[in-house]
Structure 1
Amino acid sequence: MARRRRASVLALALLLAAGAAGAQPALRAPLTAEVRFADALTGAPLAQVTPGVPFAVELAFRAEVGSVPADLAPLAWVRQRDDTDLPCAESAAAYRAAGRAALGSVDLNGTVLGVVARDGAFTILDPQRSLGSANLLAARRFQPAPASIGADPRRAEFLLSLPGTGARRGEVVAISAHGAARVLADGLDRPGTLVAARSGGAWLIERGTGDLLRLGGAGDLRRLPLGARAIAGDGGGEALPARRVAVLHGTLMSVLEPDGAVLAQVAAPEALAVGLTPDAALWLSPGGLNVLWLDAPAAPAVLALPGQFDRLAVGPDGRMVYLFAAGRTGFAVLDLARGRVVQGAGTESPVAEVAFLSDTAVLRLADQSAVGVMDLRTVTPGTEAIVGRVALGPPRPAAETAGARLLVPLTPEPAMLAIHAESYTGFVVDRRNAVSGKPPMEALRLRGGTPMLVQPLDRGLRRVAGDRFQVSASLPAPGDWELVVSTGIGQGAFCAAVPAPPAPSQAVSAPGLIQSRPEGTKGLRLVFTRAGGEPASGVRGVVDFATLTGNWRMRRPFATDQSGITLESYDLRAHLPVVVTPRPGPGAFQPLVIEAMP
């Protein structure tokens, strides 16, 4: 039976006079929460969580009076329990102040990025961490490089199609936000373009056979022998999961329901590109833009265009369609509601990619020199297109990023990451760049090679009903884990044990010692020795510093060299006396009290 825990998360009450307080009934928390751990795909309750396998965390809030606040935005993370942990309320306050959980925790908030490089390296980055390599959460390498990438919203995993090489067949792998990988499907014949499904899993074109594959999140597979050559989802962008898909196969265009049933099918003998909105299927042909309204599938319309285009991108509301071409500069904007092109503009280099925020379009030039930013609210007939130009870096040959996906929506933030591949840097732009003409104020350094495909993954809690929230998680290892939830209202927070298998028992040895040694005139390094007196070389872990005269605390990762001396130095002069507590393992080293600089 699933483990459930009810926890009081908030209590607000008027303070009455002391004489009247005794006459009042016992206070009850006006907001309570129930935690449930379940299978990420089926929703079946879990008696125990398996490390490395995604599971769902479901939170159900209940208000004793009135209703659950509409703006309730809880945050959550999973940590290994330790005697030095802060209480739940203090942990929640620390998280909201610092914007991230403690080292070793499984953060369940915000967006992370999966980056595929030209050389096959795959890295997972946290865009909120920009100091040095601290934004690197995990890394792997594939040969050859993945052909496509998506994100499963039900299981909070990246999905990568690996084409294989030689005798090695292709496969699709799923990788969690902290890097745990599992094979979703193998033995495939050159898997190619992948579109994540909103219900879990993905749609995939198997280039060797032309089959369209429907992959379930649990690894189940269904083949549709269509001869597919192009696919598009109705999610509002390549990076977003879709409910339905439109497929070009042979001389036909088909719209498929989530279960693979054909909703609509028409002839499209010269189709160059395909798109899909919740209301219409679109495809480009030499004669113009073909529009098939899904409520009238027997009567497709052809809209004339001012020139030849071979690519299209559909806006988030399914109304504005951006048209561009690989071999020509400029673009056009077509309004489906009006049935005609309403704006257009020239560009110094061909447009290679278009991505959208809720009210903004961002256009990346093929030579990587700049992006154009347009406020969709200003797109009206008879007016000049207002395009803010944001420089990214020196121009490069367009062939270097052919087929690349380098525009990344940073949802839920209203911002886009525009990546200049050759400088390994992403620049944050938003609607303000459409008119300000100012350069980006934020940048993110990428890791692991020249980026080619970048995919966002929202790992945060999402509201599935008025009082219910859900998020997917995965534990990196067995152990004593607990879920920490912060409501964001006052000090409302609670902790709940995660039903995970215990960590393997380890032989307990005598603890080692720590000493301090001076480093220059301002800092010190820590010297680790084993119980027998030999240097503790190659030790890695986390060290906590806490002052004895106030509430200052600091936690830092550390590593020792061959002499047992930390590679890092620390300036503790302003906080003495300080207690130093290392955590490379249970009872490995005794704490150290530093009363004065050595």
Structure 2
Amino acid sequence: MRLAGTIFPVIAVIAGPAFAADLAAPLTAEVVLTDVAGGTTDTVLPGQPFGIDVTLTDAATGGALKGFVLEGWIRPVSETDAPCVEAARAFRATRRIPTGGIDLNGIVLAGFNEDGSFGLADPRLDLATANMLAAGTLSATPDLVVADRATQRLIAHLPGQDGLVSVGLTGDVSEIALPAVGGTLAALHVSDDGVIWLGGTGPEGRGVMFHAPGGDEGTPVRFGTRVGGMADAGEGEVFAWAENGFAFLDASSGRVTASGIHASASNAAGIALPDGRGGVVRLVASLAPGGASAHIVFADTPTDGVSVELAAPADRIGISPETGMILVWNADGAVSFIDPATTALAGAVALNQGIGDAVFAGEAAFLATADQSGVTVIDLGTVAVGQAPTLREVRLAPRDAEVTTRPGALLVPLAPSPQVLAVHAASYTGFVIDETSSMGDAPPMTAVRLRGGRPSAVAVLDRSFRETAPGRFNTRAVVNEGGPHELVLTTGIGGMSRCFRFDAQGSAKSAFSIPVLTVDLGVPSLSARAGQVLNVRLLDENGASVALTDPVLEMTHIQFGWRATLSADGLDAGGARFIVAPPVPGHYAVTLADATLKGVEIRATTIEAKQ
């Protein structure tokens, strides 16, 4: 579906006709709606993801435009809607979209907690009364979580369970049935076009499997030993490794693009880098058993590679997507650098604290301490033989002796920005750190509260428009109901705005495969004291009460992380009675579960406890 129009400047003309004549030529915008596979579509269904491609050109010259930041949202059409230009002006002033709109800006931060609960937060709302977008509970704490930008959801694997779990931006939970996925999985990844990649499938965990949005799936690689890991390799490829070999695969089709064998590897990393001639160079770095040396090989060349002796034994290895620098480290804080151009040791440092995790963003490496008290930022551009690299110590919070999370769970890149999010679990806080951060004893100024429980993993879902080429932008969206909608676009203050109308077919009820139930508390507020009776009902989409058999109520203070799980004090035909004791004033998220209710989505609600 193509929607085209002219975007006029959002500027109040106050100087008369001469000033108006001097205004820059307007932009021409074309909007194309696409399906998940990227093909143009005329059908938008509620609850089903679709793509939005926007092209901005100069109306006078037809040339592509550079330097614009595109923002927007989708709103159901209503008689009370403000005109397009006024709506865009209000958004730029408040940074909020109207109630009922679908935000296409910024990120959603998903926090999965040690007790199985989860919360979805908008960091831009962190200075408001609450930043929560949705909350819910899974049957177990996930061991692997990834964000699926193509379908605007989070995908998780629960230990000991077959298949995967999908969590939508409204908190809706559904199962993704994949029979080949066992209870133990080594790695999980989702490509830009929504293909799910699973490492460690099959009875012995030797398979690498893909599952495409259209239902196609396959296992293009089976190693001779259990899969050790899998990750995005860049340039549209996935890298997977086992003790005895490695493979690069096309992230969309599953085709093996390169493969090789290790003599024996305890850890490995691989990356595909552009070669400057329209092709790619595939670099693989692996650790020998014991970690005394690293083996470097270019997968596209018929050589045995090079072994590099390390400054100290290591157990982890990684490659910077931006610079290609190879980083090798151990839990005690010893770090070695290998230059891919010379395949030789380029330097080493010893940090004064143990390393819990490390990731790359921009031209820097970010190494989190094992106790989550801080992050060391290493400028990879300063790594050279004979000189010490530039290190920046970023203090986060007091040391936490109870950290038990796996690598990659609480330190995540905020791509495409050169930033990372480092979570301090004990304070329920995520800190945003960029590649030039250096705060000394003060924590970073940008932080977001994670509410609802002690986090064990986080994932970041990008909703914003990404510039794929000069003047070309793309994002994905999901609408919640049928009927006419408007896509509102703006290029910023003093910039330009335009609305595009499209229709969503059907209704939300027909698009979702599971019925939605709503928690009704019967009262607008509570008191912050013990011994209060709360009569809770579960309502269907027609407002009728749903019979409860074994209800469990969960109350969570939105700001402080206090949580209580309560069994019913009594049942009646209309619902259940609970004795609640909110300890302090504030807003509480309230969820209800009943083991006898299958195949339904239960929407949480909130209530305020007053002094």
Class of the TM-score when normalised by the shorter of the 2 chains: 0.7 to 0.9
| Secondary structure in structure 1 of the residue aligned to 2:4 | strand
Select between 431-440 and 251-260 the one with higher mean Cα deviation. 431-440
Deviations 1:123-161 (A, max 9, x none): 222122213663211223222222212223433332222
The 1-side partners of 2:491 and 2:78 are apart by: 23
Question: Are positions 1:205 and 2:199 aligned together?
Answer: yes
Distance verdict in 2 for CA 1:221–1:6, change over 3 Å: same
Distance verdict in 2 for CA 1:296–1:398, change over 3 Å: farther
Q: Which amino acid aligns with 1:301?
A: V
Aligned to 1:248: 241
Aligned to 1:380: 384
The 1-side partners of 2:454 and 2:5 are apart by: 47
Question: Are positions 1:61 and 2:59 aligned together?
Answer: no
Offset at residue 257 of structure 1 (A): 3.3
Deviations 1:384-407 (A, max 9, x none): 243222222232336522445212
Select between 121-130 and 341-350 the one with higher mean Cα deviation. 341-350
Distance verdict in 2 for CA 1:52–1:253, change over 3 Å: same
Question: Are positions 1:459 and 2:463 aligned together?
Answer: yes
The 1-side partners of 2:442 and 2:398 are apart by: 17
Deviations 1:46-81 (A, max 9, x none): 23x211110112223332222232112221101123
Deviations 1:550-571 (A, max 9, x none): xxxxxxxxxxxxxxxxx999xx
| Number of residues of Structure 1 aligned to a counterpart in Structure 2 | 491
Offset at residue 11 of structure 1 (A): 5.3
Offset at residue 484 of structure 1 (A): 0.8
Offset at residue 84 of structure 1 (A): 2.9
Q: Percent identity?
A: 30
- Equivalent in 192, 210, 230 of residue 228 of structure 2: 230
Question: Are positions 1:221 and 2:217 aligned together?
Answer: yes
The 2-side partners of 1:413 and 1:304 are apart by: 34
Aligned to 2:572: none
- Equivalent in 322, 328, 343 of residue 323 of structure 1: 328
Distance verdict in 2 for CA 1:164–1:186, change over 3 Å: farther
Offset at residue 9 of structure 1 (A): 0.6
Distance verdict in 2 for CA 1:396–1:497, change over 3 Å: same
Aligned to 2:286: 283
Question: Are positions 1:366 and 2:366 aligned together?
Answer: no
| Secondary structure in structure 2 of the residue aligned to 1:109 | coil
More strand as a share of residues: 2
The 2-side partners of 1:184 and 1:29 are apart by: 49
- Equivalent in 159, 163, 183 of residue 171 of structure 1: 163
Aligned to 1:483: 487
Distance verdict in 2 for CA 1:12–1:255, change over 3 Å: closer
Distance verdict in 2 for CA 1:162–1:53, change over 3 Å: farther
Select between 126-135 and 272-281 the one with higher mean Cα deviation. 126-135
Distance verdict in 2 for CA 1:221–1:502, change over 3 Å: closer
Whether the 8 Å contact between 1:74 and 1:487 is mirrored in structure 2 is yes
Whether the 8 Å contact between 2:405 and 2:457 is mirrored in structure 1 is no
| Secondary structure in structure 2 of the residue aligned to 1:499 | strand
- Equivalent in 122, 125, 131 of residue 126 of structure 1: 122
- Equivalent in 280, 294, 302 of residue 307 of structure 2: 302
Distance verdict in 2 for CA 1:182–1:402, change over 3 Å: closer
Deviations 1:98-135 (A, max 9, x none): 22312321111112222222222232221222136632
The 1-side partners of 2:417 and 2:155 are apart by: 23
Alignment of 1:574-585 (within 5 A): none
Aligned-pair RMSD on alpha carbons? 3.3
| Secondary structure in structure 2 of the residue aligned to 1:377 | helix
Question: Are positions 1:51 and 2:46 aligned together?
Answer: yes
Question: Are positions 1:445 and 2:443 aligned together?
Answer: no
| Secondary structure in structure 1 of the residue aligned to 2:90 | helix
Whether the 8 Å contact between 1:205 and 1:228 is mirrored in structure 2 is no
The 2-side partners of 1:388 and 1:257 are apart by: 37
Alignment of 1:73-92 (within 5 A): 73-92=69-88
Q: Which amino acid aligns with 1:198?
A: D
| Secondary structure in structure 1 of the residue aligned to 2:80 | coil
Q: Which amino acid aligns with 2:498?
A: F
Q: Which amino acid aligns with 1:290?
A: H
Structure 1: gaps of 5 or more residues: 237-241, 506-566, 570-598
| Secondary structure in structure 2 of the residue aligned to 1:232 | strand
Alignment of 1:254-273 (within 5 A): 254-258=247-251, 259-273=253-267
The 2-side partners of 1:339 and 1:190 are apart by: 39
Q: Which amino acid aligns with 2:248?
A: V
The 2-side partners of 1:28 and 1:325 are apart by: 57
Deviations 1:295-324 (A, max 9, x none): 314332211112211111211324212211
Offset at residue 272 of structure 1 (A): 0.9
Offset at residue 207 of structure 1 (A): 4.8
The 1-side partners of 2:236 and 2:416 are apart by: 20
Offset at residue 446 of structure 1 (A): 0.5
Q: Which amino acid aligns with 2:99?
A: L
Whether the 8 Å contact between 1:190 and 1:206 is mirrored in structure 2 is no
When Rg is computed on C-alpha atoms for both structures, the one with the higher figure is 1
Offset at residue 378 of structure 1 (A): 2.4
Whether the 8 Å contact between 2:296 and 2:343 is mirrored in structure 1 is no
Offset at residue 293 of structure 1 (A): 0.7
| Secondary structure in structure 2 of the residue aligned to 1:364 | strand
Distance verdict in 2 for CA 1:30–1:202, change over 3 Å: same
Q: Which amino acid aligns with 2:284?
A: A
Offset at residue 358 of structure 1 (A): 0.9
Deviations 1:273-310 (A, max 9, x none): 11111130111113511112133143322111122111
The 2-side partners of 1:46 and 1:251 are apart by: 48
TM-score using structure 2 length: 0.73
Aligned to 1:311: 316
- Equivalent in 100, 104, 119 of residue 104 of structure 1: 100
Distance verdict in 2 for CA 1:174–1:201, change over 3 Å: farther
Q: Which amino acid aligns with 1:232?
A: M
Offset at residue 213 of structure 1 (A): 0.9
Distance verdict in 2 for CA 1:399–1:443, change over 3 Å: closer
Q: Which amino acid aligns with 2:421?
A: L
Distance verdict in 2 for CA 1:458–1:42, change over 3 Å: same
Whether the 8 Å contact between 1:58 and 1:470 is mirrored in structure 2 is yes
Distance verdict in 2 for CA 1:316–1:262, change over 3 Å: closer
Deviations 1:555-592 (A, max 9, x none): xxxxxxxxxxxx999xxxxxxxxxxxxxxxxxxxxxxx
Distance verdict in 2 for CA 1:218–1:318, change over 3 Å: farther
The 1-side partners of 2:390 and 2:470 are apart by: 39
Question: Are positions 1:430 and 2:434 aligned together?
Answer: yes
Distance verdict in 2 for CA 1:38–1:189, change over 3 Å: same
Distance verdict in 2 for CA 1:372–1:154, change over 3 Å: same
Question: Are positions 1:138 and 2:134 aligned together?
Answer: yes
TM-score using structure 1 length: 0.74
Offset at residue 255 of structure 1 (A): 2.7
Distance verdict in 2 for CA 1:265–1:404, change over 3 Å: closer
Distance verdict in 2 for CA 1:90–1:191, change over 3 Å: farther
Whether the 8 Å contact between 1:113 and 1:126 is mirrored in structure 2 is yes
The 2-side partners of 1:18 and 1:98 are apart by: 31
Deviations 1:448-504 (A, max 9, x none): 322222222211112334343221100123354321111337352122223114669
Offset at residue 203 of structure 1 (A): 1.4
